[in-house]
Structure 1
Amino acid sequence: MSPQTKAFCFRINGTSKGHEKEVLLAAGAKLILRKKTLIKSDGAAYKSCNVYAGKVLKKTIPFYLLEMDIS
């Protein structure tokens, strides 16, 4: 397999998001989903909301691992 699209992976330095990674893909990149695996059906996601005077909203969402090809 020879890649057709350039990609650059980097992390966010100097922030509290050290566990998050970012991927920059070249324009015109096409992603093909090969496999979708449910990791957790009742994962928690949080959102800070100014509408409710600084309260944090919680939502239950599924977590998936996506295996993809890029071209």
Structure 2
Amino acid sequence: MISNARIVIGGNILALTLKDWANIFDVNLWGVINSIHLFLPDLLQRREGHIVNVYSGAGIIGLTEPPPYIC
């Protein structure tokens, strides 16, 4: 299973609404958690398979103007 979905909402971080942040968390965080929750029981039952979560390097490398998203 590979989770590789994310959204970025551009603009000034102070201009984002709570709804914008909720959308970012829904896709970038909860999307990964929900995917693992869905596929993990089958992977454990079969005793094979892998989970790969693809994240951004923005969480490791500092950016001067980072886009507001959860890496």
Range class of TM-score, shorter chain: under 0.3
Q: TM-score normalised to the size of structure 1?
A: 0.23
